[in-house]
Amino acid sequence: MPLDAYTDLADDALLAQYSQGDAAAARALIARLTPRVFGHAVRVLGDRAEAEDVTQDAMMRLWKVAPHWRMGEAKVSTWLYRVTANLCTDRLRRKRGVGLDEVDEPLDPSPSVTDQLQTRERMDALQAGLQTLPERQRQAVILRHIEGLANPEIAEILEISTEAVESLTARGKRALAQALAPAREKLGYEDDSI
């Protein structure tokens, strides 16, 4: 099958093809899903190496469940996001038990990054702001505002009600805006034009 043909296939169809020994289907699925899973993990954890571990683990679970996957029952991406979200939660809980001295410092939006490009500076500031949010709020804000998922899908991923998602994202966004307020000038948001 030509590679272009895989772009039209749904995730679960690709997963079924993978189970039947189609290596190209695996590559297509990886190209489609891995960047999304990794992006979520790196924003939640704030650490690329840890995000790689979590992504690798989540993808490995997908390969193991592939032969038993029931077509049309669940969305592969939703399932994968849920696994990733849970793995991130486990990591953050373990980190809390390690002690503050051993945890990497969150990225600081103040003077240490002023020599970087503004885009990088903004992304670092956003990451630092995200790290100040409680874990569930952080996951909800990332899924809603950065990954662009709809509230019902986020509810399925985080295994909470849609109303709870709305509440989490609203509170998270407010808290983030407050956390980043002192850095407005440095981020180039001093005037109203963005």
Partner 1 sequence: MTASDKDTVDLDMNALDALFEQATNDVGAQPSETFMARVVTDALAQQPMPQFAQPSLWEQITSMVGGWQGMGGLVAATCAGFWVGINPPEGLPTQFETFLGSETSISLLEDGIEDTGMFGFGWDMEEG
**Chain contacts with partner 1 (rule: CB under 8 A):** 18-21, 23, 26-27, 29-31, 34-35, 38-39, 42-43, 52, 55-56, 59-60, 63-64, 66-67, 119-120, 122-123, 125-126, 145-148, 173-174, 176-178, 180-181, 184, 187, 189, 192, 194
Q: Which is nearer to partner 1, 161 or 178 (CB)?
A: 178
d(CA 150, CA 147): 9
**Shortest CB 76 distance to partner 1, Å:** 14
Q: Which is nearer to partner 1, 69 or 155 (CB)?
A: 69
**Shortest CB 109 distance to partner 1, Å:** 11
DSSP 8-state class, residue 20: T
d(CA 155, CA 134): 17
Three-class secondary structure of residue 6 per DSSP: helix
Q: Which is nearer to partner 1, 35 or 159 (CB)?
A: 35
Burial 156-167 (b: 16+ CB within 10 A, else e): bbbeeeeebbee
H helices of the chain, in order, are: 3-7, 11-19, 23-45, 48-65, 76-98, 118-132, 135-141, 151-158, 162-180
**Shortest CB 164 distance to partner 1, Å:** 21
Q: Which is nearer to partner 1, 115 or 192 (CB)?
A: 192
